[in-house]
A and B are shown apart, each in its own frame.
Chain A
Amino acid sequence: MAVAASTADVGILLIDAMRGTKRQTHRHLTVCGLMGVRHVVLAVNKLDGVGYDQGIYNELVAEVSDTARRMEIQSVIPVPVSALVGDNVLAHSPNTPWYHGPTLLDALDAAEILEDPSGEVRLPVQTIIRGKHFRGYGGLVASGAVRAGQKITVTQSGQQATIVKLHGLNGTQPTELEQAIPGESVTIELDKDIDIARSDLLVTGQPPQLADRYAADIVWMSDQQLAHGRSYTLRCGPLEVPATVTNVRHRLDVTNGNTMAARILEINDVGRVEIATARPVALEAYTDSRETGGFILVDRMTGETLAAGLTRFALRRATNVVPHHFEVDRQARQILNGHPAKVLWLTGFSGSGKSTIADAVERRLHSLGIRSFVLDGDNLRSGLNKDLGFTPEDRAENVRRVAEVARLMYDAGVVVIVALVSPFRADRQTARSLFEAGDFVEAWVDTPIEVAMERDTKGLYAKSKAGNLPNLTGVGQQYEDPESAELHLRGTDDVDANVSKVLEVLLPDADQ
């Protein structure tokens, strides 16, 4: 339903006059409004079943019109019909002498669905077209009319050029096209060579602002919950960028339009969230442009499409946060230190032996003259993360913060050892994505839960048994086994043997 509405210009909402409006009626209308369907034809059906009663018809129309107005649907054209006998479907029916509006088909034909080509051009570059002595840019026009002679700006770089030609084929003969309007695929040639890649947004007039924080409404479609702090792939047309949901603001009750406080979103929920992208991008308000404002969120592990998102507004102009480029960088610090910066990420049950291994690894590194630091889950929870609990979404945020701190230390040239339960694959994947390939070593400290329970160094399993700890990993909450960890350690093995295994993978060149 949301998918169909995302590209529809007109929706037909069918109401059963014998049964009245239902939750589903308002829900469908709300989704139409959210997804930008501007015209709705309201087919009040089965009027033959209520004796063609004008009063019932008017009542239903009024009920629906309220929701439509709230959802900013431009026009609602009500038509009294009977699908059974065909009243007012193709031709006006003598059964409804009180009705003088259009028939169902006329109402559809009357809807104004032409894209307005008068606005500024938005052309996301979909592909580079290469031929002999030719370089052109192909894309689907999102808005405005593309013509030869126009000066365009590349939003990401600010570079400018002039369109010299629109290439087309007339039948099988090469031809030059006059213009391309919204919804049409076009190939343009520019007057000079400038740096343009897939997903660059070509525009006329003032380029849209780049930003890396956005407020958006999202329709959550997955069985797994939305947890803030988790990293997804955001896709908008050809644009692809890692993105994190940093905050869930509220959930929308789609039947009445009320907002409700919420920290998570579940399947079929619609909610307002804040999103941070890994680099500044040019998302536009969905109400201005479906093509450059609508996006999807994709799970980085499974590839599942989790949500559809509708950009509302930029929260922070990226222009205010210009990362300063410092001369002394990680590379320079590594040379000074005489060893590479690395991250060892120890994951496993509470009591599996992560801290013990972390401690032993660090002592070995220290004796080898390697700068290191241990980020221990419990220690961090007493300070930086003391506001967080143990629900899946708090755990995601916990992992995100620890990963960011590890990232700073890694940039400082240090070998960082993280000891964190980090039970969810997606969170560990998010952490991994912050580091250069090869510098992040995931080590699964694999200890049978019975052994961890027996050890119960912190008394957590006893508490859990008494019912005081609902979210303990391995008991009340699942631990997702690593699938692609660089190291698989047995928590029951000799600690020194485990330390040697770690060093072989973490620092193969170190003199051990």
Chain B
Amino acid sequence: MSIDHETSRVLDALEAEAIWVFRETAAAFERPVLLYSIGKDSTVLLHLARKAFHPGPIPFPVMHIDTGWKFRQMYELRDRTAKELDLDLRLATNQEARDANVTPFSHGAQEFTRIMKTVALRAALDEGQFDIAVGGARRDEERSRAKERIFSLREAGHRWEPRNQRPEFWHTVNNALTDGQTMRVFPLSNWSELDVWRYVARENLEVVPLYFTQERPVVKRQGTWIMVDDDRMEFEEGEQPQMRRVRFRSLGDYPLSGAVEGEAADVYDIIRDIEVNRQSERAGRLIDGEGAMSMERKKAEGYF
């Protein structure tokens, strides 16, 4: 299987737009930063950033908001990628919360994510005085993201005001920032999950092996498979790890990322699977399910 000509033209158009976004970010703002979370979207994002500035280097730092609970294979890929591409990699962690032993088990998915991701992200952006942060969010992911702009304005305190967003005409960006405003920018806004995987295939990009089916130690929790990635895992009563052939469609903190069963040996298997089944990749995420419109609320607080 390969990517056919028509599909490739769609990918070309999406790529050209994303490169334009990256260049505008670098040229029209003072201090950009690329947020890198090691998943497939981040992998594509990083690749597009390289393309945008090739043969020069990526002209801004790359930052990982590290909760300390990512899969080990994610850390491995992160560190190797940073070295191979000579990235200016910055790590940002809510150290205070970590020292206080805040874990996904002690605080629950929602609170843990707020403390270790949203709070850590806001603090890191403030500390670095970044006026624009590049993220890998896509409009097709979730309802509240459908109305998101490519260049998304944030008020002081990283607040997202849906009503204050600016119209986006042609390739003309209004980069004006006043009174503590900053920008978040999403070069993959118009990509679908399928586009991302097709692009990974076409460009032959390396992704974390967790996306491919393997026998892994898991427990069943809230209707999904949770992988036991290290000995910090806290078991609930009656839970017993078992070996299952599983894979992940979306990666985050291992105790909060649900795996699915079903075979996918390579990228083309994943593409075929999405072409047939149309369930959202975020369905496996424990953090999104808590409360209606939870993503919208998280965004207003400064999450992506």
Residues on A facing B (Cβ under 8 Å): 2-3, 6-7, 126-127, 129-131, 134, 136, 138-140, 167-169, 171-172, 174, 183-185, 187, 198, 221, 233, 235-238, 290-291, 294-296, 298-299, 301-305, 308
Query: By the criterion CB–CB under 8 Å, are A235 and B172 in contact?
Result: yes
Taking the closest CB of chain A, its distance from the CB of B132, in whole angstroms, is: 14
**Among B59, B168, B170, B181, residue most surrounded by chain A Cβ atoms (within 10 Å):** B170
Are B171 and A140 within 8 A (Cβ)? yes
Stretch of B48-56, B88-96, B100-108, B233-241 with 4 or more beta carbons under 8 angstroms from chain A: B48-56
| Minimum C-beta distance from B191 to chain A (A) | 15
Cβ of B279 within 8 Å of any chain A Cβ, yes or no, is: no
> B167 at interface (Cβ–Cβ under 8 A)?
yes
Contacts A127-B26, A221-B167, A303-B181 aside, 20 further interface pairs with beta carbons under 8 A come to A3-B169, A7-B169, A7-B170, A126-B20, A126-B23, A126-B27, A127-B23, A129-B53, A138-B19, A138-B23, A168-B54, A172-B47, A185-B15, A185-B20, A187-B55, A237-B170, A237-B171, A291-B171, A296-B169, A296-B172
Q: Is the CB of B204 within 8 A of A171?
A: yes
Most buried by A among B16, B26, B172: B172
Report the Cα distance A126→B52, complex, angstroms: 11
21 contacts between A and B (CB under 8 A): A6-B169, A126-B20, A127-B27, A129-B55, A129-B56, A167-B54, A168-B51, A171-B204, A172-B47, A184-B16, A185-B19, A185-B20, A185-B23, A185-B52, A235-B173, A236-B172, A238-B28, A291-B170, A296-B167, A298-B176, A308-B167
Query: Is B172 within 8 A of A294, CB to CB?
Result: yes
Whole-angstrom distance between the alpha carbons of A138 and B53 in the complex?
Answer: 8
Residues on the A chain within 8 Å of B47, using CB: 172
Chain A residues whose CB sits within 8 angstroms of the CB of B177 once the complex forms: 303
B174 touches A183 (CB 8 A): no
Q: Known contacts being A127-B26, A140-B20, is A3 close to B56, with CB within 8 Å?
A: no
List of B residues within 8 angstroms of A238 by Cβ: 24, 27-28
Q: Which residues of chain B from 167 to 225 have any CB-CB distance to chain A below 8 Å in the complex?
A: 167-174, 176-178, 181, 203-205
Chain A hits for B54, CB < 8 A: 129, 167-169, 174, 187
Q: Does B12 contact A (CB under 8 A)?
A: yes
* Nearest 7 interchain pairs by C-beta: A303-B176, A131-B56, A185-B19, A127-B27, A127-B23, A6-B169, A3-B167
Does B276 touch A at the CB level, under 8 Å? no
Q: Which residue of B lies closest to A184 (CB)?
A: B16
Q: Counting CB contacts under 8 A, is B292 at the interface? A: no
Smallest CB gap from B47: residue in A:
A172
Chain B window 6-24, contacts with chain A (Cβ cutoff 8 Å), 1 for yes, 0 for no: 0000001101100110011
B57 at the interface (CB under 8 A from A): yes
Report Cα–Cα, A136/B174, bound state, in Å: 25
Bound-state CA distance A163–B51 (Å) is 19
Q: Which residues of A contact B166 (CB under 8 A)?
A: 304-305
CB contact under 8 A between A172 and B204, given known A126-B23, A238-B27: yes
Residues of B with C-beta under 8 A to A304: 166
Are B169 and A294 in touch, CB under 8 angstroms?
A: yes
Interface residues in B, total, Cβ within 8 A: 37
Decide: A171 near B203, CB < 8 A? Known: A185-B16, A235-B174.
yes
Bound form: Cα–Cα A304–B175 in Å: 10
**B234 vs chain A, min Cβ distance (A):** 40
Q: Name the A residues within 8 Å of B168 (CB-CB).
A: 3
Closest A-chain residue to B53, C-beta based?
Answer: A129
Interface of B is mostly: loop
- Known: A235-B174, A296-B174, A305-B174. Is A136-B55 also a contact (CB below 8 A)? yes
Shortest Cβ distance from A142 into B: residue: B171
Docked CA distance A6–B19 (Å): 20
Task: State whether A295 and B172 are in contact (beta carbons under 8 Å apart), knowing that A169-B54, A303-B177 are contacts in the complex.
Answer: yes
Complex interface residues of chain B between 51 and 73 (CB less than 8 A to chain A): 51-57, 59
Q: A16–B27 Cα gap in the complex (Å)?
A: 46
Contact B174 A298 (CB under 8 A): yes
* Most A C-beta atoms less than 10 A away, residue of B24, B47, B57, B174: B174
Q: Which residue of B lies closest to A128 (CB)?
A: B27
The minimal Cβ–Cβ distance linking A115 to chain B, given in whole angstroms, is 11
A6, A129, A233: the one within 8 Å of B176 (CB)? A233
Inter-subunit contact B16/A294 (CB<8 Å): no
For residue A2, which residues in chain B have a CB less than 8 angstroms away from its CB? 167, 169
Q: Which residues of B contact A301 (CB under 8 A)?
A: 178
Picked from B51, B167, B169, the residue with its CB within 8 Å of the CB of A169 is B51
B12 — nearest CB in chain A belongs to which residue?
A: A184
| Residues on A with beta carbons closer than 8 Å to the beta carbon of B15 | 185
Chain B residues closer than 8 Å to A187, beta-carbon distance: 54-55
Tell me the smallest distance from the CB of A201 to a CB of chain B, in Å: 13
From the candidates B51, B52, B167, B174, name the one contacting A303 in the complex (CB within 8 A): B174
Q: Which chain B residues lie closer than 8 Å to A299 at the CB level?
A: 176
- Contact (Cβ within 8 A) A302 B178: yes
Task: Give A188 Cβ to nearest chain B Cβ, in Å.
Answer: 12
CA distance A236 to B173 in the complex (A): 8
Residues from chain B with a CB closer than 8 A to the CB of A168 are 51, 54
Within 8 Å CB of B53, what residues of A? 129, 138
B56 touches A134 (CB 8 A): yes
Considering the complex, give the chain A residue whose CB is closest to the CB of B56: A131
Instruction: Kindly state the separation between the CA atoms of A144 and B124 in the bound complex, as whole angstroms.
Output: 43
Q: Which residues of B contact A139 (CB under 8 A)?
A: 23
Evaluate contact between B176 and A172: CB separation under 8 angstroms: no
Question: Which residue of A129, A130, A198, A233 has the most chain B CB atoms within 10 A of its CB atom?
Answer: A129
Residues in chain A near residue B28, CB distance under 8 A: 238
Residue of chain A at shortest CB distance from B202? A171
Known: A136-B55, A140-B20, A198-B27. Contact between A308 and B176, CB under 8 A? no
Return A320 CB to nearest CB of chain B, in Å. Answer: 28
Q: For the complex, what is the distance from the CA of A225 to the CA of B94, rounded to whole Å?
A: 46
Q: Quick check: A131 and B57 within 8 Å, CB to CB?
A: yes
Kindly state the separation between the CA atoms of A184 and B172 in the bound complex, as whole angstroms. 15
Q: Which residues of B contact A183 (CB under 8 A)?
A: 13, 16
Given contacts A130-B56, A185-B20, are A169 and B50 in contact (CB under 8 A)? yes
A127 to B28, CA, bound (A): 9
Nearest residue, chain A, Cβ from B173: A235
Among A138, A185, A299, A308, find the residue whose CB has the most chain B CB atoms closer than 10 A: A185
Which chain A residue lies CB-closest to B18? Answer: A185
**Chain B residues positioned under 8 Å from A134 (CB to CB):** 55-56
A372 to B172 alpha-carbon distance, docked (Å): 44
Find the A residue at minimum CB distance from B85.
A172
- Complex Cα distance A294/B28, Å? 18
Nearest CB of chain B from residue A65's CB, rounded to whole Å: 28
Contact check, B170 vs A290: say whether CB atoms are below 8 A apart: yes
- Across-interface contacts of A184 in B (CB, < 8 A): 12, 16
Residues in chain A near residue B27, CB distance under 8 A: 126-127, 198, 238
- On chain B, the residues within 8 Å of A290 by CB distance are 170
- Min CB distance A102 to B, Å, is 19
